[in-house]
Structure 1
């Protein structure tokens, strides 16, 4: 290993590794129309190419947190990046569809390890004065990766086909693994050995989700992810053909801009959990405005601005609630698990409700999601206050 870099440089490198993990989703979303031409025999099954990563995260989210905490953050982060590079290299050759699906399933393991280990590393390496800002930066990795994939990936696919985008992603993941291998310090913290037998895993899940420090961010994150991607998918149906074409590109960028400015400033003075609750409350008000002003665009932009505190402060809450790196890894694993559950279920649920009850029904689901997120954070905060459970 070469001479260590300053903490800020390491934080930026770990965030850049996170862009590669988000790219594992974004590359498929951007390449999806081209993949339909490459795999005409796949039909509706092509959707599994996107969702298999979420399925792995749903099933193994907490397991990844346990394994990373037990085996070591540096080693598994590098392994996750290299495994992701290998799977993208396989996909670049556009193999048979069953092989392509298998590569996506394996890629889910890579994604999980990265999104558990990297934010745990960031929280540990960041000085106290930078920790909330560093976690806010981490929270933008999905939105930035999607914007980059759309900006650079679409012209690349148009010129050379989807395999070129997958090959570029493989090269990027290899580059990040190499740079981090050179500069990433060791985080020599080991969690107590935990059995991975089914019964022990069930008990560990119950222990984590009943702990108001380990589970708070994950429970709120589920309510956020249940709606975020789903809203971007169904908003054209709700707003109608009059909605401007630029809207879907502006909405996630609005959340990122608010996260990196107003939310960063707010987190200097207000605990992260309270910022999350503020975001859920403001988001609920924005949904009511959308409901009351059908067809208006500005309440939709306000909604995505109001979601920024939820997006940014949820990650900042993890190190504030959990002092030990192994607990942060478990909390990040729970966030990955609940996030994947939200991403998997949000769009189908919203589409079904829209089909049955129209736009008002869809907005009701979104409103209930944000009120539930606020209620879950209020509940876990009350339990922490009553029991005065110290960080474990």
Structure 2
């Protein structure tokens, strides 16, 4: 199974299902008021509540799916995600829908920890950079699919149909992957879970400039990615709004899979991430000067593409063992969920108070912080 591209691509496809758990709500956000009239700001939690489990248990998830327990975690997460989406297709009352989104967060967390760890394990040394760059596109691809296909389905056939199709997607990948992952050993040490263990794992991860580095940068990336795609559309010209929002993830993917892959062959993954943050910050200056400029939006998407793939490629580059890689992926899940959870509410509140100008200012500051943190962690690694 080592070096199996069909299996690697299938695991990436499972990751698309995890990203769709965010995207399926984000792309129909403006339609939800018709289902839950009068809910107002509470609707924003339908996007962000998915990340609560990841914030609390990201590092613990890494412990649970570490070593050789990836198969059970991945398949269980796919089946759970399918069941939850079926429940959402019934359009239950808002409190129940919020509870389902919270449960869906368990599925999301397990997928985003187990899948990239499995990909890193299966890929050969020569394949690993490209394979993890491909994995890094999963959010962008999922959002593009939901913009181009999911939203039209929701508008034409109804939101329940969109949720039911997502359930079928998750179940389909569970059925496909189950026999193919069976060849992996699925036994190993069962680690005790206690408050002391949880705290010790967090200390281990975040004291290490190697394990924590990809996650620290990922926090600032995710803070901006979902929030920008969610709040930017009203400021774009309606005549090309759908085209721009649908194209941004595709441009991000194209840059990640071309320039990003080439750059990873000639420089360290962290250096590629840092270049991506610097270019993204410059793009926010551009968007401040030219509000909602189409070319600036697409250029920003390209810069974000460098951060996407290289962040995941940095995990095995900085961490040599399966255990530390799993911890790094767990930290990325934790920080990614924190960024996704905070990003949209913070952006929405700032836009309500200060208007469009707050978007490039806040996002630009976040990109600069991502760059600065990577510089500081690089210095710490050199000194160590």
Taking structure 2 as the reference length, the TM-score comes to 0.90
Q: Take 1:95 and 1:354, find their aligned partners in 2: how far apart are those partners?
A: 30
Q: Take 2:199 and 2:347, find their aligned partners in 1: how far apart are those partners?
A: 30
Check whether the contact 1:5–1:183 (CA below 8 A) recurs between aligned residues.
Answer: no
Q: Take 2:297 and 2:31, find their aligned partners in 1: how far apart are those partners?
A: 30
Q: Take 1:48 and 1:88, find their aligned partners in 2: how far apart are those partners?
A: 17
Check whether the contact 1:65–1:116 (CA below 8 A) recurs between aligned residues.
Answer: yes
- Which of 69, 76, 80 pairs up with 2:73? 76
Give 1:192 deviation, angstroms: 6.4
Q: Do residues 305 (structure 1) and 302 (structure 2) align?
A: yes
Q: Do residues 60 (structure 1) and 85 (structure 2) align?
A: no
Q: Take 1:173 and 1:185, find their aligned partners in 2: how far apart are those partners?
A: 18
1:175-324 matched pairs, under 5 angstroms: 175-188=172-185, 194-236=191-233, 244-245=240-241, 246-293=243-290, 296-324=293-321
Give 1:264 deviation, angstroms: 1.0
> Structure 1 stretches of 5 or more lacking a match?
388-392
> Structure 2 stretches of 5 or more lacking a match?
none
Q: Do residues 375 (structure 1) and 361 (structure 2) align?
A: no
Moved more, 92-101 or 74-83: 92-101
What whole-Å deviation, never above 9, does each CA across 1:180-235 have from its counterpart, x for those lacking one?
11112555487866543224322321221111111000000111112222222343
What whole-Å deviation, never above 9, does each CA across 1:228-262 have from its counterpart, x for those lacking one?
2222234356x565884232222222111111111
Q: Take 1:34 and 1:232, find their aligned partners in 2: how far apart are those partners?
A: 16
Check whether the contact 1:189–1:325 (CA below 8 A) recurs between aligned residues.
Answer: no
> Aligned pair in 2 of structure 1 residues 304, 41: CA closer, same or farther (>3 Å)?
closer
What secondary structure is seen at the aligned counterpart in 1 of 2:65? Answer: helix
Check whether the contact 1:53–1:105 (CA below 8 A) recurs between aligned residues.
Answer: yes
Taking structure 1 as the reference length, the TM-score comes to 0.89
Moved more, 204-213 or 278-287: 278-287
Q: Take 1:354 and 1:325, find their aligned partners in 2: how far apart are those partners?
A: 42
> Aligned pair in 2 of structure 1 residues 211, 121: CA closer, same or farther (>3 Å)?
same
- Which of 73, 98, 101 pairs up with 1:101? 98
Aligned to 1:390: none
- Which of 154, 161, 165 pairs up with 1:164? 161
Aligned to 1:385: 382
Moved more, 299-308 or 12-21: 299-308
- Which of 126, 130, 134 pairs up with 1:133? 130
Q: Take 1:242 and 1:162, find their aligned partners in 2: how far apart are those partners?
A: 22
- Which of 332, 335, 358 pairs up with 1:335? 332
Moved more, 362-371 or 152-161: 152-161
Q: Take 1:162 and 1:97, find their aligned partners in 2: how far apart are those partners?
A: 15
> Aligned pair in 2 of structure 1 residues 43, 59: CA closer, same or farther (>3 Å)?
same
Check whether the contact 1:74–1:186 (CA below 8 A) recurs between aligned residues.
Answer: no
> Aligned pair in 2 of structure 1 residues 34, 191: CA closer, same or farther (>3 Å)?
same
The size of the alignment, in residue pairs, is 383
Check whether the contact 1:190–1:326 (CA below 8 A) recurs between aligned residues.
Answer: no
Moved more, 77-86 or 48-57: 48-57
> Aligned pair in 2 of structure 1 residues 172, 300: CA closer, same or farther (>3 Å)?
closer
Q: Do residues 116 (structure 1) and 113 (structure 2) align?
A: yes
Q: Take 1:355 and 1:33, find their aligned partners in 2: how far apart are those partners?
A: 16
Check whether the contact 1:22–1:145 (CA below 8 A) recurs between aligned residues.
Answer: yes
Aligned to 2:141: 144
Q: Take 2:85 and 2:237, find their aligned partners in 1: how far apart are those partners?
A: 37
Q: Take 1:276 and 1:38, find their aligned partners in 2: how far apart are those partners?
A: 40
Q: Take 1:232 and 1:94, find their aligned partners in 2: how far apart are those partners?
A: 24
Q: Take 1:49 and 1:362, find their aligned partners in 2: how far apart are those partners?
A: 21
